[in-house]
């Protein structure tokens, strides 16, 4: 019975390619789900999505957040998303790639009585983002569930900038 489905699939693919065009690339279930998630994004005005490798590579994209309140007001922070073919059963890998902007962090620096010298060597001086750009967001690790989506992650990232969690820091110096 399984062979019948395989043969039927091959015939469908051959029929689709018979028009002389390039072979049709099969999408993994993860790609299909990600395509749906991206189509349904409901982003705040302060968040933008981009595809540095082009729209053909949905599995790798960037989200740029510009917090509109809190210590990080005025900053611009870019996160890379690497989505596995097993998405949504596996959470995307998310990293902050933004280099520090001392202008954006001035209120934060003054609040924690720091000097610019304490900050310039970090990517982002944030209690929930470490020096390598790793993000401490529970839904990216132990609390990930397949019902969560890209919109949920972006909402969580925005929340980290408006309400940093210094009780469970990844970067203890910034807490």
Give the residue numbers marked as catalytic: 136
Strand 93-96 to 77-82 pairing: antiparallel
Bridge partners for 77 per DSSP: 65
Which of 175, 172, 91 minimizes the C-alpha distance to 137? 91
Structure tokens that stand for 85 in this block: 């073919």
Q: Where are the alpha helices (DSSP H) in 40-138?
A: 102-111, 116-119
Taking the C-alpha atoms of residue 93 and residue 63, their distance in angstroms, rounded to an integer, is: 13
Q: Which residue has the tokens 């202008």?
A: 103
Find, among 154, 105, 153, the residue nearest to 126 by Cα: 105
CB atoms within 10 A of CB 91: 20
């Amino acid at each position: 019975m399984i062979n019948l489905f395989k043969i039927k699939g091959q015939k469908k693919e051959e029929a689709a390619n018979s028009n002389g065009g390039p072979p049709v690339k099969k999408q993994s279930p993860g790609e299909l789900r990600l395509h749906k998630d991206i189509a349904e994004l409901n982003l705040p005005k302060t968040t933008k999505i981009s595809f540095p490798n082009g729209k053909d590579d949905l599995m790798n994209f960037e989200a740029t957040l510009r917090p509109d309140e809190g210590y990080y007001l005025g900053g611009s922070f870019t996160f890379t998303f690497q989505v596995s073919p097993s998405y949504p059963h596996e959470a995307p890998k998310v990293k902050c790639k933004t280099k520090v902007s001392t202008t954006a962090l001035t209120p934060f620096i003054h609040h924690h009585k720091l000097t610019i010298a304490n900050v310039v060597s970090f990517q982002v001086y944030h209690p929930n983002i470490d020096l390598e750009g790793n993000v401490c967001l529970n839904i990216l690790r132990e609390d990930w569930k397949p019902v969560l989506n890209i919109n949920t992650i972006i909402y969580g990232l925005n929340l980290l900038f408006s309400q940093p969690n210094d009780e469970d820091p990844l970067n203890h110096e910034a807490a």
